Each structure stands twice: as structure tokens, then as C-alpha cells.
């Protein structure tokens, strides 16, 4: 009986995954990219390629996620649900290793987006689905101490998403998170009262199917990153995966209820809360991202995202928009992006051109040539953002070849040129005299 249920669930998952199989096959059999493209693509994703390049607090929180997931699967009484959870965790681990193998050790263009840190998105999808179910049940039926624990975990998950937290406060919250996870682990293995759990086969089938679907969609959605990649896949990325998985959950719940699969009547009302809970989480996350990326061209508001992370750079960009002619050409730090969109002025080369790799890979060689004219080599081991210091001869060579009018550089890297604007972060230099004056 259990074997038949497993076969039916796997068949349902494959049925949903069938439309993406041709795209997956095409992505895996596509040709390779040239060496210059691969070098810049790897430099662009260097931080994401290495699983050890993340901050310590991020790894501490992620360790808590792993431990909580282990606890939530381990405590399930129903063997079928428990085995499904272990299978999910095993598939994610295999995908993580596969991503590290074919992005960091033996890079393949078709797998370049399958990075270890992107694989964590898949795990977080699993974790929050299970955590939503566990929290709903704990807040409804658990003892008082466990209810308080769930509220505390939910509060910390909210605060972790606030980018304005100071480092000491974030470190303190991370320690508190790990302590609460350990407390949850103790309650899971030594509960104050053992309660019988309802079977959740429908829920497990939906989550398991979504994992299969996501694994198949991930490389297919980024197909052709070195030939003709769809811009939507690059721009939407993780949002596409999360939303398709959510749709799979809803569709699986509907079909299971429509055909009256076993145990649906007992679990349907409880399971129906899962898509709603995930939808609320995704909606809140989407609203936050949309608000951060919202751009206003009015003078007083500026760009919310840019102002948050690089305020001095975009103050310089907005000054350029107000005080330079529209046809002006700028030399900006090649590892900075957004100057063109915020100043409405042209630039010789910038980080924005990295986005063109997925759409027009032929631009890579020209992009590489302009970087080298400025003496910038992103493949060096030391951090090029601090090591890069262009010489006056390099600046003049780029000026003469492209007709650049202005230079934007960090204030800590002074140049013997007439400065027009300065703030604590950046200085704008004039490369050509005003109209009518000799050079």
C-alpha cells in the first residue's frame, strides 16, 4: 500500500515536470563558452561560487536551519512523511555538491547558475514550508513553553531580514537564534507531552513534488547563458523558482482533493493553510524587494536601493545629472554599477555590462579590453576594489580613445586633476577644459 502511494506521488511530480524536460535536455547538451567569457562570469559570481565566502553569522543561521529541519523531520510519527523529508534533505545535499563541483571546481556554462549559495534557496523553500506547518501546529496545540518558543523563532526570522541591523546586534540575534534552536531540539526529543500527529501525506507529496520540479527548472530556466539567455530568467531568478513551487503546491492539493486520495479529508483543511502561509511570506518579501528597487526620478527621493548601500556614489551621480551636459562621457570605477541609470550619462565601462553577458556574450571581449585599458583585472586574487589604482597615463589613454570628459574616483585615491565635486566617498574630476579654453 505504501509502495503504491509512493509511485503515485512520484508519477504526479513527473507529470508536472514533463514540460521542462526538453529545455533541461537542451541546456545540458549545449556547447561551451570561450575562456574570456568563463573568466569574467566566474569573477562576477566569485562570492557565490564558494560556500565558505559568506559571513560567519550567515553560516550560523543556516546551521540553525539545518538542525531545525532535521528535528522537524525526525519527530514525525508517520514513517512515510519522515522518509519523504529525509529524501528531500538528501536530494538537496546532492544538488549542493553538484553545484559546487560544476561551478567552483570544474566550471560548466550550463551549471554556472547552480551555485552552492543559490542551492540554499531550494533548501529554504523546503525549510519554510516545513517550518510553517510546524509553527501552525505548535501555536495551536503545543504546550505554553513551545508556543512561546515558536513566537520567538518567528520574531528572529523577521529581524534577520532587516538590513539596517548593526553588526553587534546581528551577532547577538544569531547567538539567540542558535540557543532557541537548541531549545527546540530538546523539546522535540524530550517533549513535555507526547501527542499523536495526523498523517500529512498530501503535504509531503506536494513539497516533494515541488523539489523535483525546482531541480528540473533550475538549470533549464538559465539555459543559454552564453548564447541567448532570456533576460527574465536572469532578472527574476529565485522568484521564478519560489513561485512555480508555490503553484505546484496549490495544484497538487487541488488534484489530490479532486480525486479523493487517502487521508485527504483529514489533512485538507490543515494543508490548505500551507499555500496561504507561503503566499503571505512571498508577498511580504516581494513588497520589500519592490520597495527597495523602486526608482523615483524626483529630485528629493532618489533611488532607495542605491542610497541604502552606496549613498556617496549615487550622490555623485545625481550631481552629474544636474551639472554636466547630457552628452558627457564618464570614466567610473569599473566595479561599480548604476551610475549610468542614476546620472543619465554615458560611461566608458562599468559593472552594469556584466548583465549583458547573458544576452550578448560577444560584448565580453570589448568589455575585457576596456577593463585592461584602465588597469583593472577582476581575476586577481587580492580584492581589486582596494588594489585598483589607475595611473594618470591610463586615464588619459582612455580619455583620448573614447573622448571621456569626466572621471569619478574614490576620494581616497586622489588624482592630480582639477576636481569639480567631492563628498566623503567620491570625487569628480574634469578631464577636458571647458568649451573655448585650450587643453
In tens, the pLDDT along 7-20 reads: 666 666 666 556 55
Tell me what pLDDT residue 9 has. Answer: 63
User: Can you give the pLDDT at residue 225?
Assistant: 36
- Counting other chains too, the contacts that 145-149 makes at CB distance below 8 Å and 24 or more residues apart are 145/187, 145/192, 146/187, 146/192, 149/180, 149/183, 149/184, 149/187
Alpha-carbon distances, residue 351 vs 118, 337, 354 (angstroms): 21, 5, 6
How many Cα atoms sit within 13 Å of 240 on the Cβ side? Answer: 18
Q: How far apart are CA 211 and CA 31, in angstroms?
A: 27
pLDDT of the residue at 223: 43
pLDDT at 10: 65
Please give the model's pTM, rounded to 2 decimal places: 0.47
What SS3 state is found at 326?
A: coil
pLDDT of 231: 37
At residue 394, the pLDDT reads 92
Q: What distances in angstroms separate CA 251 from CA 127, 206, 415, one per listed residue?
A: 20, 9, 61
Neighbours of 321 (CB within 10 A): 15
Report the DSSP beta bridge partners of residue 154: none
Per-residue pLDDT, 35: 62
Sheet with 426-430: list strands edge to edge: 346-347, 329-331, 406-410, 426-430, 419-422
Q: Work out the burial of residue 374: count CB atoms within 10 Å of its CB; fewer than 13 is exposed, 13-18 middle, 19 or more buried.
A: buried
Looking at beta carbons, which pairs linking 34-42 to residues 24 or more positions away fall under 8 Å?
Answer: 36/364, 36/365, 36/368, 37/109, 37/226, 37/357, 37/361, 37/364, 38/107, 38/109, 39/379, 40/354, 40/357, 40/364, 40/367, 40/368, 40/378, 41/109, 41/112, 41/225, 41/226, 41/357, 42/107, 42/112
**Nearest CA to 89 among 121, 117, 126?**
126
Which residues are CB-contacts of 37 (< 8 A; sequence separation ≥ 6)?
109, 226, 357, 361, 364
User: Quick one: angle between helices 116-141 and 201-221, nearest 10?
Assistant: 160
Q: How much is the pLDDT for 82?
A: 76
CA distance 26 to 21: 9
Residue 294, helix vs strand vs coil: coil
**Which stretches of the chain score pLDDT less than 70?**
1-60, 104, 107-118, 121-122, 136-146, 150, 154-309, 355-362, 379-385, 434-439
Determine the Cα–Cα distance for residues 305 and 294; give it in Å rounded to an integer.
8
Residue 206's pLDDT is what?
45
Q: What is the pLDDT of residue 210?
A: 46
Identify the H or E element spanning 330. strand 329-331
CA distances from 274 to 62, 251, 431 (A): 22, 12, 60
CA dist 424 and 103 (Å) reads: 38
Residue 342 is predicted with a pLDDT of 83
Amino acid at each position: 500500500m505504501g509502495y503504491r502511494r509512493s509511485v503515485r506521488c512520484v508519477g504526479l511530480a513527473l507529470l508536472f515536470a514533463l514540460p521542462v524536460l526538453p529545455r533541461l535536455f537542451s541546456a545540458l547538451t549545449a556547447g561551451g563558452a570561450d575562456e574570456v567569457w568563463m573568466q569574467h562570469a566566474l569573477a562576477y559570481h566569485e562570492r557565490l561560487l564558494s560556500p565558505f565566502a559568506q559571513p560567519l553569522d550567515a553560516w550560523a543561521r543556516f546551521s540553525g536551519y539545518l538542525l531545525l529541519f532535521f528535528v522537524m523531520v525526525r519527530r514525525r510519527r508517520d514513517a512515510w512523511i519522515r522518509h519523504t523529508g529525509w529524501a528531500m534533505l538528501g536530494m538537496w545535499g546532492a544538488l549542493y555538491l553538484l553545484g559546487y563541483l560544476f561551478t567552483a571546481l570544474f566550471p560548466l556554462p550550463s551549471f554556472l547558475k547552480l551555485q552552492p549559495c543559490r542551492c540554499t534557496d531550494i533548501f529554504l523553500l523546503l525549510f519554510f514550508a516545513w517550518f510553517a506547518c510546524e509553527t501552525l501546529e505548535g501555536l495551536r496545540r503545543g504546550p505554553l513553553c513551545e508556543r512561546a518558543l515558536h513566537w520567538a523563532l518567528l520574531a528572529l526570522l523577521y529581524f534577520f531580514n532587516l538590513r539596517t541591523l548593526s553588526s553587534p546586534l546581528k551577532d547577538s540575534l544569531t547567538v539567540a537564534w542558535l540557543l532557541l534552536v537548541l531549545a527546540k531540539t530538546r523539546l522535540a526529543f524530550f517533549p513535555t507531552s507526547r501527542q499523536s500527529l495526523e498523517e500529512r501525506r498530501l503535504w509531503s507529496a506536494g513539497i516533494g513534488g515541488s523539489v523535483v520540479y525546482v531541480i528540473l527548472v533550475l538549470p533549464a530556466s538559465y539555459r543559454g547563458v552564453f548564447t541567448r539567455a532570456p533576460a527574465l530568467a536572469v532578472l527574476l531568478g529565485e522568484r521564478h523558482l519560489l513561485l512555480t513551487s508555490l503553484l505546484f503546491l496549490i495544484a497538487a492539493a487541488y488534484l489530490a482533493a479532486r480525486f479523493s486520495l487517502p487521508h485527504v479529508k483529514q489533512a485538507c483543511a490543515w494543508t490548505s493553510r500551507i499555500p496561504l502561509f507561503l503566499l503571505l511570506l512571498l508577498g511580504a518579501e516581494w513588497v520589500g524587494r519592490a520597495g527597495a528597487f523602486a526608482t523615483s526620478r524626483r529630485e528629493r527621493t532618489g533611488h532607495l536601493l542605491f542610497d541604502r548601500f552606496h549613498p556617496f556614489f549615487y550622490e555623485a551621480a545625481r550631481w552629474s545629472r544636474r551639472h554636466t551636459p547630457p552628452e558627457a562621457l564618464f570614466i567610473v570605477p569599473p566595479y561599480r554599477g548604476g551610475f549610468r541609470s542614476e546620472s543619465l550619462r554615458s560611461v566608458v565601462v562599468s559593472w552594469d555590462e556584466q548583465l549583458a553577458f547573458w544576452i550578448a556574450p560577444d560584448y565580453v571581449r570589448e568589455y575585457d579590453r576596456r577593463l585592461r585599458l584602465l588597469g583593472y583585472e577582476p581575476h586577481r586574487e587580492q580584492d581589486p576594489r582596494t588594489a585598483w589604482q589607475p595611473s594618470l597615463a591610463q586615464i588619459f589613454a582612455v580619455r583620448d580613445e573614447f573622448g571621456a570628459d569626466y572621471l569619478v574616483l574614490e576620494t581616497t585615491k586622489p588624482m592630480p586633476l582639477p576636481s569639480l565635486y567631492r563628498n566623503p566617498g567620491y570625487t569628480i574630476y574634469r578631464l577636458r577644459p571647458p568649451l573655448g579654453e585650450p587643453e
